[in-house]
Structure 1
């Protein structure tokens, strides 16, 4: 019995250096493919977080108008009680006094109220400038379809 175990142990072989090197090369190739893809996912999620905050501001403007009546221009001070801005990505450089607004107008053709957001948002290295962007434009915006400007800022709206 002991003789068989010794013979079994002698026949076992470890990995050769070439096999180990092949595994390391394969892992390196996988990492080279996966890391940029993960970086893209992170940037897209930051882009969508900023868009979400802009949509929240438009929703707050709708609540304000339903409670207080139509006002042509709504500022942060008008909307601050309607906005949950604890983790807001809008105007991160102006936390004490965010500089954004929502213009409110009535569409003459169908009588609907139109809300257009103007402001700036940043999350990490992703920055978005909103220029009179309505809800439809903000929802349709995708980072892959918009090229950032020379200053690295994406622009949504006209």
Structure 2
């Protein structure tokens, strides 16, 4: 019995086979985990761009409440360009072509249609996941809400 106890106490370290087995297991885990983490990062970047677009839309609604925006009676729209929106959007940098267009409601309709044109929307990695076309820079307010709620 004492001889056996002595043998157990003398066993120090790992064999090469045990070390290789651990390395293989870690390699398999890394091969599975790295792409998943990459997808999570890309999804969070896409959601951040959509959240910026939502912030721009909210800024346009506040601008409308303050009586700002360029009204086009022929088309029945109000356009909020980047110069107007920048005063209502905090933390989002707008490009020159960024704008929000509000199409006034038809006679029998209660709501109009909001459309956000935001250049960074073209940077979304998986646009079809959010109901966008590849390279698109515009999204309606309704689609934007659905994309942020994850209904696509």
| TM-score, reference length from structure 2 | 0.72
Q: CA deviation at 1:30?
A: 0.1
Q: Is the 8 A contact 1:104 1:113 kept in 2?
A: yes
How far, CA to CA, are the matches of 1:73 and 1:26 in structure 2?
A: 58
1:99-134 Cα deviation digits (max 9, x unpaired): 211111222132323211112106988496322x22
**Unpaired segments ≥5 residues, structure 2:** 72-77, 128-134
Matched residue, 1:44: 43
Matched residue, 1:74: 80
Cα RMSD for the two superposed structures: 3.3
Matches within 5 A, 1:4-153: 7=6, 11-68=10-67, 71=71, 72-85=78-91, 88=92, 94=95, 98-108=96-106, 109-121=108-120, 126=125, 129-131=136-138, 133-141=139-147
The runs of at least 4 aligned residues of structure 1 exceeding 4 Å deviation read 122-128
Q: CA deviation at 1:14?
A: 2.4
How far, CA to CA, are the matches of 2:98 and 2:23 in structure 1?
A: 51
Residue 38 to residue 54, structure 1, CA distance change in 2 (3 Å): same
Question: SS of 1:112's equivalent?
Answer: coil
How far, CA to CA, are the matches of 2:113 and 2:124 in structure 1?
A: 31
How far, CA to CA, are the matches of 2:123 and 2:11 in structure 1?
A: 53
Count of matched residue positions in the alignment of Structure 1 and Structure 2 = 133
* Range with bigger deviation, 11-20 or 37-46: 11-20
